[in-house]
Structure 1
Amino acid sequence: MNSNSEIKSLLQKFVLNQCTPEETNEVIAYYKKNKLTDDFPSVEDIQALLVETPKMDKQTADDIFLNILSASKENETTIEIAPEKSNFRKYISIAASVLVLLGVGLAYKQGAFTKTAEQKFDFKSNDIVLQLEDGSVQIISESNSAQVKDSKGKIVGNQNGDKIVYENSSDLEKTTYNTIKIPYGKKFRLQLSDGTLVHLNAGTTLRYPVKFIAGENRQVFLDGEAYFEVAKDKKHPFIVNADELNVRVLGTHFNVSNYPEDAATDVVLVEGSVGMYRSNEEFDAAKNTILKPGFKGSFNKENTQISTKAVITDIYTSWINGGLTFRNMTFKNIITKLERRYNVTIVNKNEKLANEKFNASFKEESIENVMSYFNDIHGINYTIKNNQILIK
């Protein structure tokens, strides 16, 4: 750690239990180097404490962080906390001491200490978050390379830039899930243990097995949008659960869009074969909807009916390469998708626009160019200041 800003950033992750094992060791090494205490716990002690932190309820967390802030003001390195919270005594002493050292003080009071693994993910943050089976989280930096480890410290995959590749050599004997959460303004890729490649769009959450177990279906759970290039395996169907809809394949390329603002979950098939059926039903090839390449299947979230139609698949998969497409979409929904894509805030004061429907396609355009198009073609007046857009 070469600067105070880097130390502060890493410390924040440490207190929130978002450090990788390597980053945890870095905090410890820094602390020891500066001899901030004679009673510093071992690496194992700290990592054991970190496993406990996801269990904290909000009141406990608030009490702990208030004590940290009090210690910062008083320049103390120990904190007395209630007996029922004594499990965290060493952990809090460490955090408070380093906070004092760095002079962080009240700077963290405005929300930085309120984010835990159990809180709802803030899609407007800048962090890609990987959550393990035990609830602990790791922050994924697209500019770095790192090992992906399970809760026991075993390597299960490797991250290089905007992609994680999971190994198939793990000795896991039961299904263990990881969950990855992609914030607004970013995309990411996963290669699952069977070789399946998944492209994840902004504002997407995917829950998936660290390793697929022989004899069991390969099932993942999607909120948002993803393009799947599924490795062929006739003995183990690959199933994407999108809330009330299941999409079943053996090996194929297809796109699933399941964002909350949309009235339907759309499945677009590029190649191969896809079965669509309600998640509370068993798959039946004779009764369920089977898509052919070049078709889109739409699952109506209100009446749970499935309809199909022929489409130009490139329109629906262009997002992988930076494209953006709206088809017969209300302006209200377009705003939501623009906010997700560009990580901006859009305030629409033109209520007449909200339910009007538009068609538009863009290549890799900036938000300024997209808004300029709507102004030129549809006469939509707006102003842009920083990351906020006001539609008049």
Structure 2
Amino acid sequence: MSDFYSRYTDFLKDEKFLRWQLLPDETLDEYWKDFIRENPELNKEIQHAIADLKAAVLNKNILSDSDRLELFHRIQSTINEKRRKNNFRRILQYGTAACAAIALLIIGLNYFNFGEKPQKADNQELIVGNLLQSEDIQLISGEKSHEYQNDIEVKIDEKGRAKVMQKENNEQEQIDISTTAVNKMIVPYGKRTQLNLSDGTKIWLNSGSVLEFPTQFAGKNREIRLSSGEIYLEVAPDKNKSFIVHTSDFNVKVYGTKFNVSMYNDSPHYVVLVEGSVGLKSTTKSTEIKLSPNEQVIYGENGMFNKRAVDATEFVSWKNGYLSFDKTPMTEVLKQIGRYYNLSFNFDQDTNLQKRTCSGKIYLSDDIDNVMTTIALLSSTRYIKQNEQIYILNEK
């Protein structure tokens, strides 16, 4: 085995490997074919690295040779910078998603500029975004309110005791919550929370979500209420107690499942089923509609449900740290980015930018500049950031 490589992440840090993938030639092809023949035990790690790089770069076939060269230099530059700061090992510990994010999110390709605020010409297409002030996550139980600046995970055990872990530093604390009053979790834009209920059900709360839930399920059913926002659930089975999600428009009855419920005020309300089975009833009608895996039901203004086949993974990817788009309108892309990073985008009704679409994966980096760079690449736009404002412009 080579002394320089042991895991796929070693190849992602290697200049010759990156050149082979981004700027291939006969010499490099021959070198790596020989390397694989001489080190067959590393072939699996090499294929892993290739798959990650391809997944991250996404539509690599649309890049010109100059773009690939620029991409290579930016990847190499970022790796070297991380090494100088001694942070590279910390970044790589996140595994596949982080390695892919390194490659994807640093591709500037001249889409990102620091500079003067653009002056809008009469025919210029422009979307302006404003970074909003961050708010705290709130867990309200009875007369007590617990506030957290960073993303948290809350675990409630069978006896109704709650343990809170702050994801940024892994600090844990045990808090007292009411066993009789209904608890409320408020997750502002820019934050996320994971909640493990006393019955073993797991719930991921996306940005801008308000969820009501009991400490223990004492009644004949297990019932929670989503007032706004988005949740993904993995419901623990219980033959004696049905699990029901209440919303303002409909109720979701669970028959053992994994599913997503979205109730944002500025987007259609819907349910997407990943696994198992659920039934939906409108709050104004008694007829139940059932979903099969990879189906979405959208609630209409007339109280009717519209069902269609979808790829469920595209709707639940947010809980895994990335967003997946397929010819998605720019307005919807920016809505989701805005919720996740606490941004407010102002859309000019006359701009053609709203007609732009975005296809591909956007890894949700802690650095909004990386995310906006990726959006610019995937939508053929460019952006400028100045202080607390972001300007998205049509790429000529």
Give TM-score scaled by structure 1 length.
0.56
How many Å separate the matches in 1 of 2:313 and 2:256? 19
How many Å separate the matches in 1 of 2:209 and 2:296? 20
How many Å separate the matches in 2 of 1:256 and 1:307? 15
User: Quick one: which of 137, 149, 153 aligns to 2:145?
Assistant: 137
How many Å separate the matches in 2 of 1:187 and 1:270? 21
Q: Is contact 2:193-2:204 (8 Å) kept? A: yes
Identity level (%): 30
Q: After superposition, where does 1:329-368 map in structure 2 within 5 Å?
A: 329-349=328-348, 351-353=350-352, 355-356=354-355, 358-366=357-365, 367-368=368-369
Q: Is contact 1:132-1:178 (8 Å) kept? A: yes
Deviations 1:33-72 (A, max 9, x none): xxxxxxxxxxxxxxxxxxxxxxxxxxxxxxxxxxxxxxxx
Q: Is contact 2:151-2:192 (8 Å) kept? A: no
Q: Is contact 2:154-2:196 (8 Å) kept? A: no
Q: After superposition, where does 1:312-391 map in structure 2 within 5 Å?
A: 312-326=311-325, 329-349=328-348, 351-353=350-352, 355-356=354-355, 358-366=357-365, 367-391=368-392
Deviations 1:320-361 (A, max 9, x none): 111113456543343332221122343445732464262433
Corresponding residue for 2:294? 294
Q: CA, structure 1 residues 375+288, in 2 after alignment: closer, same or farther (shift >3 Å)?
A: same
Q: CA, structure 1 residues 142+375, in 2 after alignment: closer, same or farther (shift >3 Å)?
A: closer
Alpha-carbon offset, residue 197 of structure 1: 0.6
Q: Tell me the secondary structure at the aligned position of residue 334 of structure 1.
A: helix
Q: Is contact 1:234-1:250 (8 Å) kept? A: no
Give TM-score scaled by structure 2 length.
0.56
Q: Is contact 2:284-2:303 (8 Å) kept? A: no
Alpha-carbon offset, residue 265 of structure 1: 1.4
How many Å separate the matches in 1 of 2:382 and 2:358? 18
Corresponding residue for 2:234? 229
Q: Is contact 1:241-1:279 (8 Å) kept? A: no
Aligned length: 255
Could you tell me which runs of 5 or more consecutive residues in structure 2 were left unpaired when the two chains were aligned. Answer: 1-131
Q: Does 1:194 align with 2:199?
A: yes
Deviations 1:240-283 (A, max 9, x none): 12221111103211111111111x2121111111001112445x
Q: CA, structure 1 residues 383+143, in 2 after alignment: closer, same or farther (shift >3 Å)?
A: closer
Q: CA, structure 1 residues 376+178, in 2 after alignment: closer, same or farther (shift >3 Å)?
A: same
How many Å separate the matches in 2 of 1:372 and 1:207? 37
Q: CA, structure 1 residues 260+326, in 2 after alignment: closer, same or farther (shift >3 Å)?
A: farther
Q: Is contact 1:350-1:391 (8 Å) kept? A: no
Q: After superposition, where does 1:266-277 map in structure 2 within 5 Å?
A: 266-277=270-281
Q: Is contact 1:345-1:387 (8 Å) kept? A: no
Corresponding residue for 1:118? none
How many Å separate the matches in 2 of 1:379 and 1:278? 41
Corresponding residue for 2:81? none
Q: After superposition, where does 1:9-88 map in structure 2 within 5 Å?
A: none
Corresponding residue for 1:111? none
Corresponding residue for 1:17? none
Q: Is contact 1:345-1:389 (8 Å) kept? A: no
How many Å separate the matches in 2 of 1:144 and 1:320? 13
User: Quick one: which of 122, 127, 131 aligns to 2:136?
Assistant: 127
Alpha-carbon offset, residue 218 of structure 1: 2.2
Task: Give the structure, 1 or 2, with the largest relative contact order (CA under 8 Å, sep 6 or more).
Answer: 2
How many Å separate the matches in 1 of 2:373 and 2:153? 38
Q: CA, structure 1 residues 237+345, in 2 after alignment: closer, same or farther (shift >3 Å)?
A: same
Corresponding residue for 1:265? 269
Q: CA, structure 1 residues 333+363, in 2 after alignment: closer, same or farther (shift >3 Å)?
A: closer
Structure whose residues are more often strand by fraction: 2
Q: Tell me the secondary structure at the aligned position of residue 317 of structure 1.
A: helix
Q: Tell me the secondary structure at the aligned position of residue 325 of structure 1.
A: strand
Q: Is contact 2:153-2:193 (8 Å) kept? A: no
Alpha-carbon offset, residue 140 of structure 1: 2.6
